[in-house]
Amino acid sequence: MPLRWIVCLLLLLSADAWAGEPVATVRVAFDRDGVTAIRAHGHADQATGREVSADDPVRIASISKLVTALGVMRLAEAGKLDLDADASTLLGWRLRNPAFPQVPITLRLLLSHRSSLTDAAGYWQTPLGGELREILEDPRAWDAKHAPGSYFRYANLNFPLVAQIMERATGERFDRLMARLVLRPLGLDACFNWALCSDAAAARAVVLYDADGKPVKDDNHGRKPACPVTPASDGSCELSHWRAGENGALFSPQGGLRISARGLARIGQLLLGDGSLDGQRLLEPGSIQAMVGPEWQYRPGNGLTWEEDTGGDDAGFFCRYGLAVQTLATPVKGCRDDPFGDGVARVGHSGSAYGLQAGLWVDRKRGTGVVWFATGMPDERSGGKSAFSAVEEALAR
């Protein structure tokens, strides 16, 4: 049965299902040797009628966090970063939860969402020339009830701080650093916030649509955007104003990676290869295992199992988490993190933003994996038997 029919059937069978269907869906299956199957349906750009393909770059949302963590681990292996050092030392200024001023916050806690940070004060709004540090001065940025290390709370703000630490350790702009450490070694024409992608890749960008079919991101008419970052307060966009270690949010490490589904499959192959791909080693097996962890597993009272932006509609979505790596199918009451429905503990990460729902998941024991994304989706993940949407469950299968 064609994938489109499966998706539509699942939506019709669910009383709570979303009434529409995706603008585009792409699914790429792979193993350690390469891509094994591709399915693509719909439009990358509805205005021009351009059909979507597995080679079109898409803003892959929070799967960007996993790719960012690969860069962190490369720097850790090179002795540039210490996962367990006080992040205050790495940032050059004191990072503390005001309610727990004596408890250090480490890079490991930032990567695993156990830092006690929240997204209530924002995380991406700092403009070019501004300082991310100002967000941390807002009391809403902190969980005043739980000390760092004691509680899991998924918060995007962790990753601009991670990027800022990376920049300060190297003196390199985050997007350039990620290109050098991860994207170019893997042969990927991918980028954080468009600046370093080729013009050819930008011309194939997948436009992101909301559930009403309105374009909400990357509707760039075949070109790179005039400004790839949040402009300066005066509206200017002079990237020479960038300064290492001031604004780690600028190139969206939490969600701004533009990469094709085929390219993302290579990231999955790297995980399957324990840090090696095409005979070249990017990371040691121990670094991949450290990412997988998990650092945290849900039990009542030790963390939230949903992202707070969703209002808890997807409770049970997060139940095991490492260093920017999620593990699925947690056999614990209250966990609904198995879109495949087979109980296999796959690892990877999900993505959801601007009408996109996406996933990168690998079965390390069997040596197989899958990448998917759907555009034109509602904000909530609806209609599924798990905390994932019915559309994602269809793509998983």
Q: pLDDT tens across 314-342, in order?
A: 899 999 999 999 999 999 999 999 999 99
Of all residues in the chain, what percent carry a pLDDT higher than 90?
91
Q: Which residues pair with 257 in a beta bridge?
A: 192
What pLDDT does residue 338 have?
Answer: 98
The answer to whether the peptide bond before residue 294 is cis (omega within 30 degrees of 0) is: yes
| 11 pLDDT higher than 50 | no
Q: Of 152, 343, 344, 128, which is closest to residue 247 (Cα–Cα)?
A: 128
What pLDDT does residue 15 have?
Answer: 34
Tell me the pLDDT tens digit for each residue of 31-55: 999 999 999 999 999 999 999 999 9
Please tell me the chain's helix, strand, coil percentages from 3-state DSSP, rounded to the nearest 5.
Answer: 25, 20, 55
Count other C-beta atoms under 10 Å from residue 175's C-beta: 27
Residue pointed to by tokens 């080679």: 55
What b-and-e string marks burial along 324-341, b requiring 16 or more CB atoms within 10 Å of the CB?
bbbbbbbeeeebbbbbbe
What 3-state class would DSSP assign to 139? helix
- Rounded to 5°, the CA angle 361-109-116 comes to 110
What pLDDT does residue 7 have?
Answer: 47
Q: What is the 3-state secondary structure (H, E, C) of 321-358?
A: ECCCCEECCCCCCCCCCCCCCCCCCCEEEEEEECCEEE
How would residue 124 be classed by pLDDT, with cut points 50, 70 and 90? confident
How would residue 260 be classed by pLDDT, with cut points 50, 70 and 90? very high
Tell me the pLDDT tens digit for each residue of 290-304: 999 999 999 999 999
Tell me the pLDDT tens digit for each residue of 87-105: 999 999 999 999 999 999 9
Across residues 233-259, what is the average pLDDT? 94
| 6 pLDDT higher than 90 | no
Q: Of 365, 132, 84, which is closest to residue 253 (Cα–Cα)?
A: 132
DSSP 8-class letter at 122: -
Strand 50-51 and strand 34-45: the pairing is: antiparallel
How would residue 2 be classed by pLDDT, with cut points 50, 70 and 90? low
Burial of 35 (0-12, 13-18, 19+ CB in 10 A): middle
What pLDDT does residue 190 have?
Answer: 98
Residue 103 CA neighbour count, 13 Å, CB half: 14
Q: Of 124, 111, 116, which is closest to residue 98 (Cα–Cα)?
A: 116
CA-based end-to-end distance of the chain: 12
Largest CA distance in the chain: 59
Q: Mean pLDDT, the chain, as a whole number?
A: 94
How would residue 347 be classed by pLDDT, with cut points 50, 70 and 90? very high
How would residue 310 be classed by pLDDT, with cut points 50, 70 and 90? low
How would residue 374 be classed by pLDDT, with cut points 50, 70 and 90? very high
Q: Which residues pair with 294 in a beta bridge?
A: none
CA distances from 92 to 86, 99, 137, 238 (A): 10, 21, 15, 25
